[in-house]
């Protein structure tokens, strides 16, 4: 993954952090409503692992995750891509939403690639 520019690395990490914050907010709202949190917890965990993997690959920060956790997170992240790509296809070209979705897609793809290299 040496072909990723420093700017792309920063934007990718920011995209992960933004997505994690969004899910944490959703989890808090769902907790207040008493709704099941299973899916959101699974996605939040996978995104946190994906972020840790990118920081490991790009900034040599260690991560505590085992192969099984990486494998599960990889599957969850891969499962998120179709819906995000669908939203991107519907977004107005050049809009802030389009830019955000494009960055999320790219960051997820890089995290999946990094996980594949570690598995």
Residue 57: other Cβ atoms inside 10 A:
21
The whole-number average pLDDT for the span 92-119 is 96
Q: Each residue of 28-63: pLDDT tens digit?
A: 999 999 999 999 999 999 999 999 999 999 999 999
Q: How many helices (H) and strands (E) does the chain have?
A: 4, 0
Is 112:74 a contact under the CB 8 Å cutoff?
A: yes
For the chain, how many structural domains are there in total? 1
Supply the range of the domain harboring residue 99.
Answer: 6-118
Measured distance CA(14)–CA(31) in Å, rounded: 25
The whole-number average pLDDT for the span 85-96 is 96
- Look at residue 23 and tell me if it is in a domain: yes
- Look at residue 34 and tell me if it is in a domain: yes
pTM: 0.94
Distances (CA, A) of 8 to 38, 68, 110: 32, 28, 10
- Look at residue 1 and tell me if it is in a domain: no
């Amino acid at each position: 993954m040496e072909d990723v520019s420093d700017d792309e690395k920063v934007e990718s990490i920011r995209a992960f952090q933004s997505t994690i914050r969004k899910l944490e907010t959703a989890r808090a709202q769902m907790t207040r409503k008493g709704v099941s949190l299973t899916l959101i917890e699974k996605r939040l965990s996978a995104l946190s692992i994906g972020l840790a993997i990118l920081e490991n690959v790009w900034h040599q920060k260690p991560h505590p995750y085992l192969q099984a956790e990486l494998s599960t997170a990889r599957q969850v992240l891969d499962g998120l891509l179709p819906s995000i790509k669908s939203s991107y296809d519907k977004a107005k070209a050049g809009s802030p939403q389009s830019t955000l979705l494009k960055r999320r897609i790219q960051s997820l793809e890089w995290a999946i690639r990094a996980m594949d290299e570690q598995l």
